[in-house]
Amino acid sequence: MLFSLGGRQAFVSGSSRGLGYAMARALAAAGATVWINGRDRKSVADAVATITDEGWRAEAAVFDVTDHAAFDALCEHSGPMQILINNVGLRDRRVLEDFALDEVRALLEANLVAPFALARSAAARMSAGDRIINVTSIAGPIAANGDAVYTMAKGGLDALTRSLAAELGPRGIGVNAIAPGYFATERNAAMVADPATAEWLARRTALGRWGEPAEIAGAAVFLASAAASYISGHTLVVDGGYLSHF
User: What residues are annotated to the active site?
Assistant: 150
* CA 181 from centroid of its chain's CA atoms: 12
Q: Which residues sit opposite 51 in a β-bridge?
A: none
Cα(219)–Cα(230) distance, rounded to whole angstroms?
A: 15
The contacts of residue 32 (CB under 8 Å, 6+ apart) are 5, 6, 8, 9, 10, 57, 82, 83, 224
Q: Hey, is 104 helix, strand or coil?
A: helix
Classify each residue of 35-69 as buried b or exposed e, where b means 16 or more C-beta atoms within 10 Å of its C-beta: bbbbeeeebbeebbeebeeeebbbbbbbbebeebe
- Asked if 236 and 219 touch (Cβ cutoff 8 Å), the reply is yes
